[in-house]
Structures are given as structure tokens and as C-alpha cells.
Amino acid sequence: MICNNCGYHFKNSLTCPLCGQSYKKKKVCPVCQKRIHYNQIRCNNCGNPLIKQSTTDVSKYYVNNHNFPKNNKTTVSYNNQKTTNNSNQKIRNVHTNSKSKTKIPSFQPLEMYDYKIGNEEIKRRFEEARNALNFRRDRRKKKTNKSRIPNIIAGLTLLITVGSFLFEILINFIDNDFSFEETTTERAVLSDDFTTANITETNTPLENAGNYNQDNHVYFNNDQIYFGYEDNVYVTDNELATINTLTVPGSTSLYVEGDNLYCGYYDEYYCYNLTNQEEVFLFNKNTVLPIGQGRFIYTTNSNNELYLYSNNTSTCLYDDYTYGFFFDANSELVYLADGEKIQTMDLNGNVVGEYYISCYSNFYVDGSLLYYQSIYGVNVYNLSDDSESIQIEDSLYEFTVVDDGIVYLDDNENLMYYNFDDESYTEIVDGVDSFNILGEYVLFNRYDSGYSWYIATTDGQICSLDTLMN
């Protein structure tokens, strides 16, 4: 892994051992579905490459960043130890640049080892070196086996004494019935703060984009809510009171347009016709974002290239690793982060602008404001005047911009809500694995002796889906 904060290379870990940057983003390998860490280069189970790495020519970097003299043709003869240059001047230990007057080190030729000389010649040279350094051999007599016998006896005596002492302590532990409590990762099931719900608001484009960055298990369309759970898709009303099951291949990245329900099954994406119940495979994906009219922007699992799916055809928009992307429906522009900058391009793949923002994760564009995740928390960048400020100072795992604030999951698995008006922070619940926005509510799953789904308000009121749907 490579730390996004300090650049330190380390093995798989949840925190960087050098700077302490936390990496708790939980993902699975697209090939073998084993759990992997955020920014992991290869899967530990199958070896699948997860991040495309670029190489740097070290020699070019060293030459370009040091003022070495040019056109200094120097010939070296190792046989007679003579060095000459074009000006027939002796080579000094340092060269001086006439313009900058900075001293630049020059490397002197050393005597090379002649592998053809015999052993006797090598021994002779070693003896000369020893004499020059006043080398003295250690003439002390080696200790005999007889001299070691007292030490062995003393060691055995000490070992027996210490062993007896430790054995007595162990017996006392057993007699006093010492016991150790077993620890568990299971959490207590949350109590219900309310028993009825009424979803009246549809998701904004920012909220939908945030949901698709977290596999989008829910979609609200025409007073019907589609909910994906355990490879099944359920249909319910805006009160979550009645529920029907659909035989759909998958339960993630849900999207409904007309009579078609689009859903993902691991890395495959399908179109399911709600009328005739026919399913059609579309493409393989990592992250997908619907943009309307049967069109989708998605990244691949192989090297995270960015594609556009339209008219039953996939077209590559960006043929390098894409860390995050967003679609602005008003301008019909695609925003993508390549790590060094954020580019804007049309749906034909033509770059129309770029912003030098170092972003390695998801981001969102709301008018002239660009929200992105940094090592400090959530930064907001003004596209109109290039100004920038820190919106949230916290260590984040994932975040979504809502109408009046930001809902995010920190590195300690706490689901938080940040209010734009009073700049206040509210902890909704702890121990959250992932979340989606559902109108004015937050849908999240949590491990309670198994994964359980809940719905919550931004002020911390919680209810289990099992309670609402029974």
C-alpha cells in the first residue's frame, strides 16, 4: 500500500505506520471477492492488480534537478589511472558552475579489482594493509572445555531456581480460579425510537451520486421504493409498510427508468424489464452512475478506466486509472480525478478544462462548488474564483452532500451529520458499515450478530427496517 498522506510504502494495514493515516475503507476484490483494504495494490488472495502504477525515470529526474555541466567530455583510462578532458585540464574534486557558482560533486575513478591476479598476490596485499594499520592478531588462548564447566553448572542452577518460582506462581493462579472474559465484535441490537416512517422527498443528484459511490441499495421512484438486500430486490411504498420481492439478478446500483430496473450483481450490470420480466446483461463495472436516457458512466474492475454506455455501446472516455468521477447534468460535463488534477470533459471524451486538485477518492460538484475528500477532512473548492477552504475537519471513510449539510462515515465507523447553517456535528449512530440517503432519512446497515438494516433521521432517531416492514 501507498499512504496518500506521506507516500510511505507499507504492507496491508488499517493505518500508515509512518504518519498514522487511517485506511478503513472496506472493499472486496473484483476477482475473488475477498476483503481488501483501501488503496491496496494487489489482492492478497488471488494477486489481482488493483491499482495501475506509473513508473518514474530516476535518471531523468536526477539530471533535470541538478546543475551538472553539459558537454564535459571526459575520458578515463583505468589501466594507467589517467583522466583527460577536452581542455586538457586536470579534473578537480569539485566543478564550479560559472553562472550559479555552486559546487557540483564529480566522481573520481577508483582502482578496479583485477580478478586475474593470483592468491599469493592477494595475500601479499592484505599483509601490507595490516602492517600499514598496525594490525595485531588476537593471541589470547582459547578457552578449553574444562574452563566452561563451572559456567554450565551455574547456568543450570539458575534455570532450576527460576523454573521452580514460575511453577509456584502458576499453581497459585489455578488455586485462585482466575478466569478471562471472552471478547466479541457483536453489538447490541439498537432500540426503536420510532415505529412509522413517511418518505416524502426524492433524492437530489448529489445524494444519488453519493449512494452509487456506496453501491446504492435503494432507489425512490414514483412513490415506490426499490430496496436491494442479500441478492434480492424488494418493492415497498413510501411508508415501508408493504413489501414485494422481485426475481432480479442482483441488489446493488439500483436505478429505475421507465419499465426498466437496472441493478448490479457483483461486477456485472443488468437491465430488468418490469413488464415482461426479461433481463439483459449490459457491461462489467466497478462503480456505475446513471445519467438518464438509458446512459451510464462507469469504471471497470481491471484498471478503473472510465466508460460511457449509450445506445447499447460502451465508449472509453479516459484510458487511465480514475480515482473518482461525477456527472453534471446541467452542463453535460464529466468530472474525473486522476490523482494529480480533476479534469472536465464532454461525453465524447474531449477535455474542456482542468483543476489542479489532488483528489484520490469520491467528490461532488454543486454549481460552482466542488466538495472532495482530503487528508484534513472535506474540502470545498470554488470553481469560479479558485478559492478553497476546509468544510469538515475529521478523518473520513465516505461522505455524501445533502441539501442542508453533509452525512459522512468517519474512520471509527461513526455515522455523522454536519449542518451547514450552524456548523454543528451530530453523531447519528456508531458501528456503521455503509449508508445510503433515502429522502430525508438515512438508510444504513450495521453488524448485530449479522448485518441488520436501519433507517434514521439526521438528529439521531433510529428504527429497524424489520419493525417498519412487519
Amino acid at 278: E
**How far apart (Å, rounded) are the C-alpha atoms in residues 233 and 223?**
16
Share of the chain above pLDDT 70, in %: 67
User: Would the pLDDT of 75 be above 80?
Assistant: no
pTM of the model: 0.62
Kindly state whether residue 146 falls inside one of the protein's structural domains.
no
* Phi (first) and psi of residue 167, to 5 degrees: -65, -40
Cβ atoms within 10 Å of 417's Cβ, excluding its own: 21
Q: How confident is the model at residue 466 (pLDDT cuts 50, 70, 90)?
A: confident
Of 295, 379, 304, residue with least CA distance to 336? 304
Identify whether the C-beta of residue 345 lies closer than 8 Å to the C-beta of residue 331.
no
Q: Which three cell numbers stand for residue 85?
A: 578532458
Provide Rg for the chain, Cα atoms: 33
Kindly state whether residue 127 falls inside one of the protein's structural domains.
no
Q: How confident is the model at residue 89 (pLDDT cuts 50, 70, 90)?
A: very low
Say which range, 130-139, 150-159, 336-345, has the weakest mean pLDDT: 130-139
Return the higher-pLDDT residue of 190 and 41: 190
Return the higher-pLDDT residue of 304 and 132: 304
User: Would the pLDDT of 80 be above 50?
Assistant: no
Q: How confident is the model at residue 318 (pLDDT cuts 50, 70, 90)?
A: very high
Among residues 337, 363, 396, the one where a domain terminates is 396
CATH no. for residue 279?
2.130.10.10
Kindly state whether residue 435 falls inside one of the protein's structural domains.
no
pLDDT in tens, 260-282: 999 999 899 999 999 999 999 99
Q: What pLDDT, on a 0 to 100 scale, did the predictor assign at position 133?
A: 55
Domains held by the chain: number: 2
- Residue whose C-alpha cell is 455523522: 416
Among residues 396, 418, 453, the one where a domain terminates is 396
pLDDT in tens, 151-167: 677 677 777 776 776 76
Kindly state whether residue 39 falls inside one of the protein's structural domains.
yes
User: Would the pLDDT of 56 be above 90?
Assistant: no
Kindly state whether residue 404 falls inside one of the protein's structural domains.
no
Q: What pLDDT, on a 0 to 100 scale, did the predictor assign at position 104?
A: 41
Domain range spanning residue 1?
1-53
Among residues 381, 396, 411, the one where a domain terminates is 396
Kindly state whether residue 421 falls inside one of the protein's structural domains.
no
Kindly state whether residue 466 falls inside one of the protein's structural domains.
no
**How far apart (Å, rounded) are the C-alpha atoms in residues 438 and 174?**
56
Return the higher-pLDDT residue of 223 and 461: 461
Q: How confident is the model at residue 76 (pLDDT cuts 50, 70, 90)?
A: very low
Kindly state whether residue 187 falls inside one of the protein's structural domains.
no
pLDDT in tens, 183-193: 445 677 888 99
**Average pLDDT taken over every residue of the chain:** 78
Average pLDDT over residues 29-34: 72
